[in-house]
Each structure stands twice: as C-alpha cells, then as structure tokens.
Structure 1
Amino acid sequence: MPPIRRVLTADDAEGRSFIAEDGASPAVRVVPERPGYRVTNLWRTAGGSAVDAPDSIAAHQGVSPPEGGTVLRIIDFPPEPADPKELERMLQATFGSMYRDAQHQPRPGEHPGMHRTRTVDYALMLEGELVAILDRQETVLRAGDVLIQRGTNHAWANRSGRPARIAFVLVDARAAA
C-alpha cells in the first residue's frame, strides 16, 4: 500500500494559516517479522493541549495515547498467514516490539492478537476488509464502516487475502467502574 501523506497546518507570526509540513510522517513503524504490517502514527495530543502544541508524534511509543490525550494512526494489515503458528509468532513480535503497553494475554483458543487497552477507539475502515474479533462474536468491516471500541478485549484479522488499511483515533479513558 502507498505511504500515508500527512499535511500539517499552522499559523505564521501574523496569524495567517499555511502548510507547515507535507509529506511522510516521522513516526512510521514496521515489524520485520510481519512483512506488510505498517503503523503510521500521525498526531497525538496531551490532555488539554493547545491547538498550536508542537508535533510530538515522533516520540510516541506503544499503543496508548498520553494521559488525557489522543493518538491518530493508520495501520496497514497484510493478509494473515494460513499457518496458525506463524500468525502467533508474528503477533508476538508485533506486541513485543510495538505495543508493550497493551494488555495482550490471549487465552487458549482465542485469536492470538486478543488484547485490551484503556482507551475509546474510533476505527475507520479505509480500504479492504478486516474482521473485528470480540470475546463472543466477530464482524467484518469494509471501507466506510466505523467501529467504536470501548476498552473491550478485541483483535483484528485480515482473512481477505488482500492488504487492508484502517485509521484509528485512540482517546485515553478511565477503566470501567
């Protein structure tokens, strides 16, 4: 899939708007053990950020946004391998290298990508299709579909045989009472 173009606006000293950046994000991550999987972190905010806060996305680590903040990312999912052991190896590498802050402890019989975060996620399917897997059911998302993930145990699977692209806005949240 082609790289994501990030266009960043700003105001100059006179308060006139302009394009401050136009190009690739400085925060693109890949997992060598999972060819085709690419995470493009695009922007993040800290709690109460000013509209002109400096770009801090290159410093972002993990899956979760800063406390009280948000993170915007686009993920390219390659098709899942047919071999379950290969899938498990790829997902262990992904969570181990990129998402150590996720609660990734799949139980026997679960999809090996099952995890939980303390976030509300707006997932916007851009291209292709993914399966959103929950504890009790799953659903196929296609381009134009939106899923709101509210701190639930979940995983993503690409069973389509073609690459898929999805955008996520993660919003820091408190754990359920």
Structure 2
Amino acid sequence: MCLPIRNFKSNKNSKQSSSLSSEIASISKMASIRPHAQLPAPRLVVTGHTKGGSSIFASDTVVPQFHPFGPAGSGFSNFHNSATVPVSNVLPIPDLGNVLPRCPPAGINFGISDFAPNGRSPMHRTISADYAIVLEGEIILSLDSGEKKAIRKGEFILQRGTNHEWINPSSEVTCRILFVMIGAEKIVLGDGTTLEQTVLGPKK
C-alpha cells in the first residue's frame, strides 16, 4: 500500500482523488451490506520532548476510524506516516484521519485495518514491505497464484510486495490487523519485468 495520500483538495492531487474514489467504489461493491459490531476505536499514546529535552507525553487520544465503504465495510485508523526514513521525531504528527492506509515510496505508515464479517479487499500489490499482526479474529491471505493461508489472532505476516487480497471468513467477528508498512524497492523479475503497484486488481 504505497501511495502518499495527504490532501486531495489541490489540483496536483486531483488524479489521486479520482483514483481514490474509484477504489472506494470498487471495494464498496464487495462489502457486506449487513451492519456489524465494530471494534472500539483505538487509543494512541504519543511521546515527545520539552524544549529542554525532558521526555513527555505529547498526546493521549482515541483515534477515530475512517469508514469510506460505509458502516458494513472496512475501517481504518492511521497512527503515523512519514515520507522519509530516518523519521523525524520532532515534526508534528500528520493528520491522517480520512485517508486509506498508504505508504510513501521511501517512507513508512503505521496503523490498523478492520475487516468486516464476510468482508474482503480487491486483489492489489503495494510497493512496500508490510509487517502485520492479527489482533482480533482471523483473516485469509489470498495470493494471485491461487494459494491461500489463514492467519489467526496473535499470528504474524511479513508481506513482501505480493499481489494479494484479504478475506474475513467469519460471518460474526470483525478482524483487526496492525500494519507497519515500509517503502520498498520494486521487484524486477529475471526477464526484466518490473512488478508495479496494483490498486484494484491484477492487469488483465
């Protein structure tokens, strides 16, 4: 998941806004129309420093979830995003309240995604290495080769630029996954083919 989505009001980002709208429309068609019991919005504690260098708690807040696909669709809470690594520990935390989780090409993104019962994402590839842990429920990780694996609460995922989709097999339980996404080099195959980012599915 590797597009720096910040602010869609400017002309510069009009194409990104259009792409985002198309993405939301596509995923919405896949979302269950039955409302589900959403998990509580997460609490985020952020530390910082005084001007004199003493450690402090900079904030302690509940992060509202972004539900772009309606109450029966997936929900997202983005905690932090940086366009570069090393990350600055003095710049203000960016406002990421109403954006899909996307990782800048040379940066990081940290947040959670909730998948509704019977919910699924489209097949997609991100130019990132994704470190993930299932916090609640269970998720099916499906690859474009047809292979699938179930990952359950307390289990981990290292996703390395593969074309994939997420499927919540439960009809009752919302699945919550924590993601730390790191911008990665594009994968180049032996014949020189570069595996590009896909947003709504593999190219036909």
Q: Report if TM-score (shorter chain) is over 0.5.
A: yes
CA distance, structure 1, for counterparts of residue 102 and residue 133 of structure 2? 17
Indicate the SS of the match to 1:160.
coil
Match of 1:120 in 2: 129
State the one-letter code of the partner of 1:39. Answer: F
Instruction: Work out which of the residue numbers 26, 45, 64 in structure 1 matches 2:82.
Output: 45
1:145 to 155, 158, 162: 155
Runs (4 or more) in structure 1 with deviation over 3 Å come to: 59-63
Contact 1:64–1:172 (CA under 8 A) maintained in structure 2: no
The within-5 A match list for 1:1-177 is 1-25=39-63, 28-33=65-70, 35-47=72-84, 48-58=86-96, 61-80=99-118, 113-136=122-145, 137-161=147-171, 162-177=173-188
Distance (whole Å) between structure 1 residues aligned to residue 126 and residue 52 of structure 2: 42
Residue deviations 1:3-61 (CA, integer Å, cap 9, x gap): 100100001112111111111236x3112445152100011122133222221142884
Asked if the contact 2:78–2:97 (Cα under 8 Å) also holds between the matched residues in 1, the reply is no
Contact preservation (8 Å) 2:113, 2:177 = yes
The separation in 2 between residues aligned to 1:79 and 1:60, in whole angstroms, is: 22
Same amino acid, percent of matched pairs: 33
Q: Return the alpha-carbon distance in structure 1 between the equivalents of residues 81 and 177 of structure 2.
A: 17
Aligned CA RMSD, in angstroms, stands at 2.0
5+ unaligned residues in a row in structure 1: which ranges?
82-86, 92-112
Size of the alignment, in residue pairs? 147
Give the counterpart letter for 1:170 in structure 2: M
Q: Tell whether the 8 Å contact from 1:44 to 1:57 is kept in structure 2 after alignment.
A: no
Instruction: Give the whole-Å Cα distance in 2 for the aligned partners of 1:9 and 1:72.
Output: 15
TM-score (norm 2): 0.66
